[in-house]
Amino acid sequence: MKKFLLLTLLILAGCTSNDQHLSADTPEGLYLLAYKDFKETDYERAAQKFDQVEQQFPYSRWSERAQIMAAYSQYLQNEYTDAILALDRFLQLHPGNHNVPYALYLKGLCYFEQMSDPLREQEMTAKADNIFKELLMRFPKSTYANDAKEKLIAIQNHLAAKELAVGRYYEKNEDYIAAMNRFQSAIQGWPESNQLPEAYYRLAVCYKALGMTKQMGQVQNTLKKKFPDSIWSKRVDKI
């Protein structure tokens, strides 16, 4: 993923490091100095110099590029909070810039990289979900649309896994109503996630435990019809 981003940014840079231009007295020169550090993988120094381009030459065309490059340099250092702040500033100052799709995509990645274990709080997962959806809504044909769609699938699976993890806890403690609510939430909230077969299975188990055999049978049939090859479809007949 980061290699893909690097190729994108190399195109974005749109310049080459020529020694005669390496002067911090001009916006292009300072940008090139920062870009030289970037190519040498000194991302911390590069980010600092890209920030200087914006600060010292805020109205130059290099300032816009520098904001994006600073954010990407911070992303490569796993400095996600700083990267997000830089991207938010870019999006606020340049709402019509042709690099807005990239800025949204990179912001989504910053949240995506911070997604936690399904048993933990999912604030970053939810934020990544919102940003990638915004990207697809506003720029459905952008270069980053396909990868954003893949990320959204992964996010769906992650959020559904969270619901199942909580539901299994309630099921283990025989709080079947609470467990059913979680399993139904996973089914209704993320209907394309890879967690659905297990969610249907565990919902059937809860119905069985509550003596609701009719509802259990309906869930069994739905599971086997939708996911005939799933291991959960085979297990459900053994309830």
**pLDDT value of position 18:** 53
Name the DSSP letter for residue 97: -
Q: What single string gives the DSSP state of each residue in 44-83? A: HHHHHHHHHHHHH-TTSHHHHHHHHHHHHHHHHTT-HHHH
From the list 116, 114, 92, 115, the residue with the least C-alpha distance to 104 is: 92
According to the model, what pLDDT value does residue 119 have? 60
The residues near 134 (Cβ < 8 Å, ≥ 6 apart) are 104
Distance CA 206, CA 52 (A): 60
> Where do the domains of the chain lie?
1-114
Instruction: Say how far apart CA 221 and CA 232 lie, in whole Å.
Output: 12
Instruction: Note every long-range contact of 24-30, with CB atoms under 8 Å and residues 24 or more positions apart, other chains counting.
Output: 24/52, 26/57, 27/53, 27/56, 27/57, 27/60, 27/61, 27/62, 27/63, 28/60, 28/62, 30/56, 30/57, 30/62
Q: What is the DSSP letter of 142?
A: S
Comparing CA positions, the residue from 203, 218, 113, 91 lying closest to residue 158 is 113
Side-chain half-sphere of 168: how many Cα atoms within 13 Å? 12
Specify the pLDDT at position 11.
47
DSSP assignment letter at 230: S
Residues (pLDDT < 50) of the chain are 3, 7, 10-11
114-131 pLDDT, tens per residue?
987 766 778 899 899 999
Q: What is the pLDDT of residue 42?
A: 95
Query: Would you say how long the chain is, in residues?
Result: 239
Q: Does the domain at residues 1-114 carry the CATH identifier 1.25.40.10?
A: yes
